[in-house]
Amino acid sequence: MMLEARDVVAGYGNIEILHRVSVGVHEGKIACIVGPNGCGKSTLLKTIFGILRPTGGKISFMGEEISSLPPHMLLRRGMSLVLQRRSIFPLMTVLDNLKMGAYTRKDKQEIEKRLEEVYHIFPILEKKKTQMAESMSGGQQRMLELGRAMMLKPKLMLLDEPSAGLAPVVTQGIFEKIKEMNDQGMTFAIVEQNVRIGLEMSDYAYVLELGRNRLEGPASEIIHDESLAKIYMGRL
């Protein structure tokens, strides 16, 4: 397993949000974490990426325990996080935004190689590379965030609600791009509000409820599990 979080306890101050949550991601696969609002999905990603410090449990990445490591050290080890809220630099060009994703690299040839890989997945970014990022649509800005995260060629990409604020047709396009990146070898752990498309695009799924594991298994089976509808109170 590339990523393994076992019995993770975490929260904000004295408020405990995650109560012994366990998830794992196999190399080359897409794992999706779903659950009703407030169940702890985003808190889990922030804890895995070191933004929050777990108060219990253990998190391992590539066989190394990372429970106490800060985000910049995880980034150097091959893990990246794309937040739910927009994180582009609006008054910088698309190209400069992408280059910011490779700020730790000094090899210009390697940076150019990464850019070509990003442009291959997201042709619109090459087309708009001289435009200000703020001029792009919401879906294009999300592609820019994904492309920027690709610039360090991470082993694992954590995505927090990639469909947030996007129209259904745009969401479909974003997930098709994620699948294309996965087909080229990238591993994903995705927190997603759109349960159906998240599960349809994933290999394995975890369902959280009130900060605890409720269901897990192959996504193709979880999507048909009667318990899932009950957890969402019939909102699927």
User: Where on the phi/psi map is residue 216: left (φ > 0), alpha (ψ -120 to 50), or beta?
Assistant: beta
Q: Which of 157, 152, 118, 142 is nearest to 28 (CA)?
A: 157
Task: State residue 233's pLDDT score.
Answer: 56
Contacts of 123 (CB under 8 A, 6+ apart): none
User: Does the structure show a pLDDT above 90 at 230?
Assistant: no
Please, which pLDDT band fits residue 190 given cuts at 50, 70 and 90?
very high
Q: Judge whether 84 and 42 are in contact, CB under 8 Å.
A: yes
Domain at 1-78+158-236: CATH architecture? 3-Layer(aba) Sandwich (3.40)
- 111-131 residue pLDDT tens: 999 999 999 999 999 999 999
Sorted by where each begins, the domain ranges of the chain are: 1-78+158-236, 86-153
- pLDDT tens-place string over residues 191-201: 998 999 999 99
Say which amino acid occupies 148.
R
Share of the chain above pLDDT 70, in %: 98
**pTM of the predicted model as reported, rounded to 2 decimal places:** 0.91
User: Is the Cβ–Cβ distance between 140 and 128 less than 8 Å?
Assistant: yes
pLDDT tens column, 63-114: 999 999 999 999 999 999 998 877 899 999 999 999 999 887 778 899 999 9
- The residues near 132 (Cβ < 8 Å, ≥ 6 apart) are 90, 91, 92, 93, 94
* High-pLDDT (> 90) share of the chain, %: 85
pLDDT(157) > 60: yes
